[in-house]
A and B are shown apart, each in its own frame.
Chain A
Amino acid sequence: MRIVIAEDSAVVRACLVEILVDHGHEVAAAVGDAGALRAAVAAEHPDVAIVDVRMPPGYTDEGLRAAVELRHSDPGLGVLMFSQYVETRDAADLLGASRGGASGVGYLLKDRVTDVGEFIDALARVAAGGTALDPEVVGQLLGASRRADGLATLTPREREVLRLMAEGRSNRAIAARFAISERVVQKHVGNIFSKLGLPPSDADHRRVLAVLRYLEG
């Protein structure tokens, strides 16, 4: 697939390009600031944009704001944000403000990128219209949630499945993670939804939103 990268650190940018090219993707452009990102996306029409949250000139959230804009103007574009630090509000902004909700959106810690397999998998999920949330983000949301009593009704395995669902994983991926069958996963998912009173959802990204909304109270 065609990818545009926006990352201000030249060293990390070069590594990203290496990894992507090595896995057979085409890097249409690799830029260093938000303005160049907008121009590159307009010119190259990539499938996915990989964007760093913090970029020049202000080094606050230029990348995030550019990503939200891009999502508004082009909901078909997959956006994978990554950041040195997980900031709770950023993830919420990205998911909430963009049209199409959690479809084709990802938010990863930069550390996660160092696990090449995880990174490529997240990229694939985002490109396919799914969701890829960093486990650390989900952990923060679970920890801060007011629904402690609701969550307490889940078994430990169900809590783990919930966590992976919130990260945007498909049933098949969850099954592979725990070395169980997909049908068992579906059963767990059903139990979770009924225990927490969530509406049943078919698409992975929609259930991510449902879970996240639940966790935020």
Chain B
Amino acid sequence: MDGVTLTAGRPGRASPRRRARPRWPGPARLLREPFTRRAWAEFGYTIACVPLAVAGFVFTVGTLLIGAGLTLTIVGVVIGPLLIAASTPGVLGLGGATRWLARRLLGIKVTGPPPPRRNPGVTGWFWSALNDATAWRTRGYLALKLPVSLVAAYVAGWFWLGGLAYLTYPLWWEIFHNVSYRADGVTHPDPVTNPGPFGSVHVLTLPGSFALIPVGVVALLAAPWVTSAVVAVDRALIGRLLGPVSMSERVQDLARTRAHAVDDSAARLRQIERDLHDGAQAQLVAVAMRLGLAKEKLRGAGAAEPDPAGAEPDPAGAGPDPAGAAGAGPRQPDIDRAFELVDAAQRTAREAIAELRDLARGIHPPALDRGLDAALATLAARSAVPVDLVVDVPQRPSPAIETIAYFCTAELLANVAKHSGAPRATVEVVHVPGLLRVRVSDAGQGGARPVPGSGLAGLAERVRTVDGRLDISSPGGGPTAVTVELPSHA
């Protein structure tokens, strides 16, 4: 980009480099400027904005007036606001079109504000569309743009087109020159009035028309600067009204990206668990099964089982092979040894299967895919302390929230088992519209505190990442109740 005094991308902000440049451009710059692409782009912008401005103004002001008018009547008191709410997408689209035009022709990189949070349901849509701050700022822009754009187009148009016309005035003289016929039969030329920046110039004859050429030259040389000046007003408006500058929009953007990150990580963990199940666990099970078959073959070949203290008792009543132990052939020690090895290998494989299973369950319990009630039922059954479980979840919250609720419950139950000394625990899970509440209580010794670095503190942090709450009621000696509240969606 040329080092123009007006900076693109940050309208309204003075660039520190501006002060270092000379205020007036040198003669070479002056002569070059009208031919630069940038100058033409700005001129094109002023022209192209006119239809957009007209459409924007008509749409915005029109819907507002009609909507407001309808609201005042009894009949349309509901239709009015609905109309305004329904106009929001159109308004935002027009704002987007303006930004696109500005980006293509002016090089302004103003990113649009993030899309607003859509609340579910019809009333949610209505209020969010009506309260959309971005849309209101865009409406303001579109209302102001029409006068600004018309003035800009007129001024820029005069300088460019008018300058061009004056530059080539002699060529047009034939068309413009006036001749009037007076009574004495002699034609007298009438002056042609040509507006100029410092008063009109009257041209009588063809040679006189050459006098306008300097006017045209001056106009053309000044055109880019004038155009930039009028476009600067629009730039400022775009920057203030169409860009995402307000703090609340930044917050909205952050909330949206955070929700995305939370959901994304929950989905990834589920995928990891699925891959473990389909891949590593399946392979290990196959290995263990084949080793089991091998053991059977060896038993059939006469292997003597190793000392069964610690090995599983055989419920099928097979027992040690009666003929094998007595008939020890020369290969018997090998076969016995082979059996030992295969048995040990199978035990290792089984342990690995169990460990992988616990690992996968710690990453993402598969029952969670079916819902909190199924997952919590298994959690309660496996808990070290007996658990009274009450689950009332008519509609499922989002998977990420279910995951957080599950692991919170698991951690809290582990705490009950480790610290409370209570014989039982109670887990209540309730899902009302918009809120999931999990409560783990016990009649133990109490005294639970969210010490920094403890599991409870970590739980509170994790709950806060989705704007949830953790309440602890645990007086020393008294019953303990920990309540976790989570939104239905991250």
Contact = CB atoms under 8 A, between A and B. Distances in A.
Contacts of B383: 143-144
A144 B285 contact: no
A16 B289 contact: yes
Contacts of A18: 289-290, 293
B314 A117 contact: yes
A60 B370 contact: yes
A164 to B, nearest CB: 8
Interface stretch (B1-9, B347-355, B401-409, B445-453): B347-355
A60 B373 CA distance: 14
A202 interface: no
A173 interface: yes
A61 B281 CA distance: 18
A1 interface: no
Nearest to A10: B282
A12 interface: yes
A54 interface: yes
A193 B219 CA distance: 111
Contact of B293 (A8, A9, A54, A116): A116
A19 B285 contact: no
B366 interface: yes
Contacts of B381: 88, 140-141, 143-144
Contacts, number: 121
Contacts of B187: none
A177 interface: yes
A117 B296 contact: yes
Given A87-B377, A114-B349, A115-B312, A12 B386 contact: no
A173 B313 CA distance: 11
A216 B217 CA distance: 99
A148 B386 CA distance: 9
B378 A86 contact: yes
What secondary structure prevails in chain A residues at the interface with B?
Answer: helix
A113 B315 contact: no
B279 to A, nearest CB: 9
B285 A110 contact: yes
Interface residues of B, number: 45
B283 to A, nearest CB: 6
B274 interface: yes
A177 B313 contact: yes
Contacts of A19: 289, 292-293
B291 A114 contact: yes
Given A15-B290, A114-B291, A87 B274 contact: no
Contacts of B386: 143-146, 148
B139 interface: no
A59 B277 CA distance: 11
Given A59-B274, A144-B386, A111 B290 contact: no
Nearest to A59: B274
**Residue from A9, A54, A58, A118 with most neighbouring chain B CB atoms (10 Å):** A9
Interface in A8-37: 8-9, 11-12, 14-16, 18-19, 22
Contact of B292 (A116, A121, A169): A116
Contacts of B291: 114
B182 interface: no
A206 to B, nearest CB: 21
Interface of B: 274, 277-278, 281-283, 285-286, 288-293, 295-296, 312-318, 346, 349-350, 353-354, 357, 361, 365-367, 369-370, 373-374, 377-378, 380-383, 386-387
What are the 7 tightest A-B residue pairs by CB atom distance, in nearest-first order? A114-B288, A140-B381, A9-B282, A116-B292, A176-B317, A15-B289, A144-B381
23 contacts: A11-B286, A12-B282, A18-B290, A18-B293, A19-B293, A85-B357, A88-B378, A89-B378, A110-B285, A110-B353, A111-B288, A114-B285, A114-B349, A114-B350, A115-B292, A117-B314, A117-B315, A118-B312, A120-B316, A144-B380, A146-B386, A176-B315, A177-B313
Given A9-B282, A19-B292, A173-B315, 4 more contacts: A19-B293, A89-B378, A117-B315, A117-B318
